[in-house]
Amino acid sequence: MPEKILLADAYGLLILLGLLAALVIGGILWVVMAYIIDVTQTRHTVRRNFPVIGRFRYTFEHLGEFFRQYFFAMDREEMPFNRAERAWAYKAAKKVNTTVAFGSTRRLDIPGTVLFVNSPFPALKQTFAEPADITIGKHCRHPYTTRSVINISAMSYGALSKPAIQALSHGAKQAGCWMNSGEGGISPFHLESGCDLVAQIGTAKYGVRTPDGQLDDDKLREIAAHEQVRMFEIKLSQGAKPGKGGMLPGSKVTAEIAAIRGIAEGEDSISPNGHPDIRSVDDLLDMIAHIRSVTGKPVGFKTVLGGMDWIHELCHEIIQRGIESAPDFITLDGAEGGTGAAPQPLLDYMGLPLNQSLPMLIDTLDGFNLRPRVRVIASGKLINPDRVAWALCTGADFVVSARGFMFALGCIQALQCNNNQCPTGITTHNPKLQNGLVVADKAQRVAQYVDSMVQEVGIIAHSCGVEEPRKLRRNHARIVQPSGAAVLLSDLYAGNDFRSDNRFIR
């Protein structure tokens, strides 16, 4: 009897050991197969760069839906973009259902909240219209006409990786929108898709500079010779760091990037705080006129506003010189903008947010009768349809976004943009991490993000009773005030006639 018991125990132990061995072997085979699948698939950057381990991201995201109220931030709590904002951008880029259930998680009583005015008679499908064509630079030899509402904001090759620039370029071509080169200059990867481009000229004049940093007219002509380069933008400042030039660490300055920018390889690329040759509104208008004369294409400038005095002075000078002297467009960035790495005091405290500066700029230009001569392009955390629709209501002609398109590329807000360790391959020059970003897949997502944005801004417009987004006006939106009342934009920003302001008349 004892022998039978021992024999049974031995058989049981063998079976247990066999099961354990099978589990171990099965586990090893699963890891190997998962690794092979992850490194060869092309749709998920995180899994491609971090095979097997990256799969747990989706498990934790899924569990977070159930446990976040106990352990994680709620939908509307994170910064700079909360979960709800990022989720919409991801879904839009993947062209999946963006509807949500059980009501909004958004607080509707917080001052600054935008609420749109729904019409009792919304636009019907048979009256829906495409966004209207808009021409920029009618006084130029080569004006630019486009109907694109949302476009890709300035992000340089160098700050972004080669595959990221390629994906944005091909996505812009598919979507029919423009792409801003950023201050790093026009690279072959911007040009390869044939998309419309805005060539940005930063304070260091990368790509169009002489060896000592002056503007090189021959290089300007060379860039302008590309038909797809539609406009030139002089960057005075950007939302992440008003008053501070661009900063690209030497670890990102490869031989290729150095050649494109006209700088030394491997050395920190630090742009001046401002343009040495633009020290007044007169200098700015002279520079605009010069670049427009050399290239024949529309020229404008990008800025963050901290006050309006210099804009009033600019407008007075335009009136004295003549309407043809005006910039063809102004790109207004809010202080909340921020793809570039910057000192925290500038990120947190410098400049006005877009919700304050955009109405001020629009009203000033209207007061001097400079619109539509001067087109306005709005920028600053405009990654969701409500913010884009608000900007159009306020008076913007176009919207540009940087971080919205980074989310379309797969950005997970890891906040590693400035140390060359971006896990999704977007802001790194590490070949292994770049390998996870598959250009063809991400280009499609960029195009789908644009398509989804236009579609859902259109939904807001139709609900307001107009046929297309550019017909949105200030009486179509309200902003919640500290008192709790939601005031129409048309009442809050009634407009002012600054032509009666004679402080700057000379």
Structure tokens at 112: 């600054």
The answer, yes or no, to whether residue 250 has pLDDT greater than 80, is no
- Across 234-261, b (16+ Cβ under 10 Å) vs e yields bbbbbbbbbebbbbbbeebbeebbbebb
Q: Where are the alpha helices (DSSP H) in 234-305?
A: 255-261, 281-295
Of the residues 51, 72, 93, which one is the last residue of a structural domain? 72
Q: What is the pLDDT of residue 67?
A: 55
The residues with which 258 forms a beta bridge, in sequence order, are none
Residues 257 and 367 in one domain: yes
Residues 59 and 143 in one domain: no
Query: Cα–Cα–Cα angle for 349, 352, 353, nearest 5°?
Result: 100
Taking residues 211-223, report their average pLDDT: 92
DSSP 335: T
The answer, yes or no, to whether residue 70 has pLDDT greater than 60, is no
Residues 60 and 133 in one domain: no
Half-sphere exposure of 480 (CA within 13 A, CB side): 11
CA distances from 98 to 77, 85, 178 (A): 20, 11, 25
Domain extent, residue 67, equals 2-72
Q: Residue 425's Cα: distance from chain center in Å?
A: 17
In sequence order, what E strands does 348-392 have? Answer: 375-379
Task: Decide if 505 is inside a domain.
Answer: no
Residue 146 contacts residue 393 (beta carbons within 8 Å):
no
Task: Decide if 90 is inside a domain.
Answer: no
The helix (run of H) or strand (run of E) holding residue 235 is strand 229-235
Q: How far apart are CA 413 and CA 61, in angstroms?
A: 14
Which has the minimum average pLDDT: 4-18, 399-413, 448-462? 4-18
Q: Per-residue pLDDT tens for 436-491?
A: 888 999 999 999 999 999 999 999 999 999 999 999 999 999 999 999 999 999 99
Q: What is the pLDDT of residue 169?
A: 96
Of the residues 28, 52, 72, which one is the last residue of a structural domain? 72
The residues with which 376 forms a beta bridge, in sequence order, are 330
Residue with tokens 């019409």: 119
Q: Which amino acid is located at 217 in the chain?
A: D
Q: How far apart are CA 382 and CA 389, in angstroms?
A: 9
250 CB-near residues (< 8 Å, 6+ apart): 266, 267, 268, 269
The answer, yes or no, to whether residue 341 has pLDDT greater than 90, is no
Q: Per-residue pLDDT tens for 43-66?
A: 888 788 888 888 777 777 666 655
Task: Decide if 191 is inside a domain.
Answer: yes
In sequence order, what E strands does 271-407 have? Answer: 299-304, 329-333, 375-379, 398-401
The answer, yes or no, to whether residue 32 has pLDDT greater than 90, is no
Kindly tell me the sign of the dihedral angle through the C-alpha atoms of 143, 148, 154, 155: negative
More confident residue, 435 or 146: 146
Q: What are phi and psi of 179, to 5 degrees?
A: -130, 130
Residues 377 and 234 in one domain: yes
Residues 197 and 289 in one domain: yes
Residues 137 and 10 in one domain: no
Q: Considering the chain, what percentage of its residues have pLDDT values greater than 70?
A: 86
Q: What is the pLDDT of residue 465?
A: 95
Residues 366 and 452 in one domain: yes
Q: What is the pLDDT of residue 37?
A: 86
Residues 249 and 371 in one domain: yes
Residues 163 and 304 in one domain: yes
The residues with which 400 forms a beta bridge, in sequence order, are 151, 379
Q: Per-residue pLDDT tens for 161-172?
A: 899 999 999 999
Structure tokens at 57: 């991201």
Q: What is the pLDDT of residue 342?
A: 64
Residue 231 contacts residue 186 (beta carbons within 8 Å):
no
Task: Decide if 189 is inside a domain.
Answer: yes
Q: What is the pLDDT of residue 125?
A: 86
Q: Per-residue pLDDT tens for 235-248?
A: 998 766 666 667 77
CA distances from 235 to 171, 306, 315, 336, 399 (A): 24, 16, 18, 17, 17
Query: Cα–Cα–Cα angle for 375, 376, 380, nearest 5°?
Result: 160
Q: Per-residue pLDDT tens for 109-141?
A: 889 899 999 999 999 888 888 888 999 999 899
The answer, yes or no, to whether residue 500 has pLDDT greater than 60, is no
Residue 201 contacts residue 233 (beta carbons within 8 Å):
yes
Q: Which amino acid is located at 179 in the chain?
A: M
Q: How far apart are CA 244 and CA 63, in angstroms?
A: 42
Q: How many domains does the chain have?
A: 2
Residues 55 and 143 in one domain: no
CA distances from 23 to 16, 19, 27, 28 (A): 10, 6, 6, 8
CA distances from 317 to 42, 260, 299, 314 (A): 54, 35, 17, 5
CATH number of the domain within which 161 lies = 3.20.20.70
More confident residue, 6 or 131: 131
Task: Decide if 112 is inside a domain.
Answer: no
Residue with tokens 């446990």: 67
Cis peptide, bond prior to residue 143, ω within 30 of zero: no
Of the residues 27, 45, 72, which one is the last residue of a structural domain? 72
Q: Which amino acid is located at 136 in the chain?
A: I
Q: How far apart are CA 190 and CA 229, in angstroms?
A: 10
Residue 343 contacts residue 369 (beta carbons within 8 Å):
no
Residues 468 and 352 in one domain: yes
Residues 45 and 184 in one domain: no
Residue 198 contacts residue 232 (beta carbons within 8 Å):
yes
